[in-house]
Amino acid sequence: MIIVKNYISENIRKYRKLKGFTQEELACELGVTSQAVSRWEAGNGMPDISFIVPLAQNLGVTTDMLFGMSDAVYDK
């Protein structure tokens, strides 16, 4: 069993900045408020499961990358 620390808040911020989006621009793309994006990035809330795939798509990453699992090794 692999235990992976949840890096989603840090990764939302990191990939948003790499993509050149402001919090407001990302929020607009997702149909949420910029305050919601701010809470996600601060770790004071998590995006609803329905936003995970659109969030990853808008940031140009995989869902694994969004959750900090891009380098994880999986057991069969």
pLDDT of residue 7: 85
Give the global pTM.
0.82
The residue whose two tokens read 């694994």 is 64
pLDDT 10s digits, 55-64: 999 999 999 9
Is the pLDDT reported for residue 49 higher than 60?
yes
Instruction: Give the contacts of 47 (CB within 8 A, at least 6 positions apart).
Output: 8, 12, 36, 40, 55
